[in-house]
Amino acid sequence: MMPATLDTWIQHEAVPLSFDSSESFNATILSLDLSVEMLDFGEALRGFVGRSIDALVEGVLSWRSATPALTAEILLSLRWWFERMAIHMLGEMIGELTGNVVGKRISHHYGGDLKIERTMESKGVILGTKVTLIATFWSTERPQGGMLAKGHGIMATEKGETAVLQGSGISVPTKGPGWSMRGARYLQTSGTALNRLNNVALLFEIEIAPDGTVNDRMWEWK
């Protein structure tokens, strides 16, 4: 049931905080669960809501001289809580695929960039449905180092439903000789098994071992 007025809603939902004691403030922050939605955090943080955690902490630091009780311990509590919020926004892991790079070649058009083309075939489970994915992506070198990759693929379920995927990502440093990529995909399907993914971004992590083995994990970005 919706509150009759805004004041009623605030009285019912607001969590009181005190800056007089860092212990009391920290205890309140740590008691909040992932169902809490923060609309604002007072005048000190006005303009910082919706920005990065670092910008938020910077806003608190700019106000700190006016409130000595806002200690470094409190800033760590704020960072911890907002990082929990960011993880919650990432959403659930929707599936994992494993397979192999089945083809690789150098692609170069006259006057264009030199590209490395890879095709991979993998199998696994997405949203509880067994699928096969065949995808090709092209990687070009970035001026600052690393690679930028763009590609597309076709995913098929056991029942014959298909989905088209498009995506892009960048390479990230690895501890070993393999290749690692992070990025986002977008899926389109008229089938029923995966249609929930038509309206979300899929964040992925792809690990490619030196022998061509592929591990591909995806999360729903809410």
75-92 pLDDT, tens digit each: 555 555 555 555 455 677
Element (H, E) at 141: strand 129-141
pLDDT in tens, 158-176: 999 999 999 999 988 777 7
pLDDT of residue 209: 92
Looking at per-residue pLDDT, the higher value among 72 and 145 belongs to: 145
Cα separation, 218 vs 206, in Å, equals: 9
- pLDDT higher at 215 or 32: 215
Q: Looking at per-residue confidence, does 56 or 141 come out higher?
A: 141
Q: How far apart are the first and last CA of the chain?
A: 25
Identify the band that residue 156 occupies on the pLDDT scale cut at 50, 70 and 90. very high
Res 104: pLDDT: 92
Q: What is the pLDDT of residue 136?
A: 96
At 114 the pLDDT is 85
Element (H, E) at 161: none
What confidence tens digit (pLDDT) does each residue in 99-137 have? Answer: 999 999 998 777 777 899 999 999 999 999 999 999 999
pLDDT at residue 160 in the model: 95
Residue 154 is predicted with a pLDDT of 98
Residues of the chain with CATH 2.40.160.20: 93-221
Would you tell me the crossing angle of helices 22-31 and 72-90 to the nearest 10 degrees? 10
- The phi, psi pair for 207, rounded to 5°, reads -115, 125
Per the DSSP assignment, residues forming a β-bridge with 97 are 124, 216
Residue 218 has pLDDT above 80, yes or no: yes
The pTM for the full model equals 0.60
In CATH, the architecture of 93-221 is Beta Barrel (2.40)
Residue 134 neighbours by CB under 8 Å, 6+ apart: 119, 120, 121, 153, 154
pLDDT for 178: 84
Residue with tokens 């092209």: 138
132 phi/psi in degrees, rounded to 5 = -125, 135
Cβ-count burial of 168 within 10 angstroms (0-12 exposed, 13-18 middle, 19+ buried)? middle
Task: Kindly tell me the number of DSSP H helices and DSSP E strands found in the chain.
Answer: 4, 8
Residue range 16-65, pLDDT digits in tens: 666 566 566 667 666 665 454 444 444 333 333 444 445 545 554 444 44
Averaged confidence pLDDT in the chain: 76
pLDDT tens per residue across span 185-212 = 999 999 999 999 999 999 999 999 999 9
How far apart are the C-alpha atoms of 149 and 51, rounded to whole Å?
27
